Amino acid sequence: MDDAKRQRLEAKGWQVGTVTDFLQLMPEEEAIVEFKLALSHRLKEMRKNQKITQQSLANRMNSSQSRIAKIEAGDPSASLELLIRGLLCVGATKSDIAQAIPELNKTNIKEQDLVNV
């Protein structure tokens, strides 16, 4: 969020902070959220690069297309196990999964601004 927008919002009584602040996450919880977001991003990226539909991936995982959409959107109900299973189903290796860790910088929730009253 740019400074001008932040100042306008604060001038009107809004509080501007991060998702972590709003949800009052402990550092461990924040790390888990960031890790899950990085894995979901990697899954979606690998699926699209291989031109696999959500439905096709769902079939491979014995799941549903809507569940795959939730996983890729970072839905909190998606477990780490499910994310890893999805990655393995699109052909990810242990090394590919480990490489998702540096992507935490791309999905860092500290940098996402949240506005609340």
Evaluate whether residue 83 is within a structural domain. Answer: yes
**Amino acid at the residue 13:** G
Evaluate whether residue 2 is within a structural domain. Answer: no
Nearest Cα neighbor of 115 from 10, 25, 11 is 10
Number of domains observed in the structure of the chain: 1
Distance of alpha carbon 96 from alpha carbon 30, whole angstroms: 22
Rounded to 10 degrees, the C-alpha dihedral 9/75/41/92 comes to: 170
Q: Residue 109 corresponds to which tokens in the numbers above?
A: 């929730």
In degrees, rounded to 5, the angle at the alpha carbon of residue 72 between the alpha carbons of residues 54 and 46 is 70
Q: Residue by residue, what is the 3-state secondary structure of 38-70?
A: HHHHHHHHHHHHCCCCHHHHHHHHCCCHHHHHH
DSSP category for residue 9: H
**Tell me, what's the pLDDT at 108?**
45
Evaluate whether residue 5 is within a structural domain. Answer: no
Does residue 34 contact residue 109 with C-beta atoms inside 8 Å? Answer: yes
Q: Which domain holds residue 99?
A: 27-111
Evaluate whether residue 42 is within a structural domain. Answer: yes
**Tell me, what's the pLDDT at 102?**
66
Which CATH number goes with the domain that contains 75? 1.10.260.40
Distance of alpha carbon 94 from alpha carbon 57, whole angstroms: 19
Residues of the chain with pLDDT under 50: 106-117
Evaluate whether residue 61 is within a structural domain. Answer: yes
